[in-house]
Amino acid sequence: MPREKRTRYPLEFRIEAIQLVRSGQTIAAAARIRGIARNTLSNWVKAEIHGNLTEVPSRSLDGEDTEVSRLRTELARVTMERDMLIKLVIYFAKV
C-alpha cells in the first residue's frame, strides 16, 4: 500500500497554531480549529519549546496578511464556541 504524501505546513501556519495553545486552548481544540491532527500540533509545540521549529518563511507577512490571519483564527475560535453553545442548549432542552 503506497504511503500518503506528507503535508508541509508553512511556518506562519505552525506559529499561529502554537499561539492558540499558548493562549489557553487545549492542543486538541487548537488542532480542531486549525484542521490538523492533534499529534502534529503536539509535535510542533514540543519542537517550539526546544527551539527546533525552524523553517525559513516563504515570505514575510505584511500588515494586511497578518490581520487576515488573525481574523481567520478568531473566526475559527468563535465558530467553535458557537457550536459548543448550540450543543449545550440542545442538551439542556432534553433534560
> For residue range 3-58, what is the model confidence (pLDDT) as tens digits?
676 778 888 888 888 988 988 889 999 999 889 999 999 999 888 887 777 654 44
Is the pTM of the predicted complex or chain greater than 0.75? no
Query: Does some domain include residue 79?
Result: yes
Domain count along the chain: 1
* Alpha-carbon gap, residue 50 to 28, rounded angstroms: 21
Query: Does some domain include residue 2?
Result: no
User: Which segments of 1-95 does DSSP mark as H helices, in order?
Assistant: 11-22, 27-34, 38-49, 63-94
Range of the domain at 59: 11-94
Query: Does some domain include residue 6?
Result: no
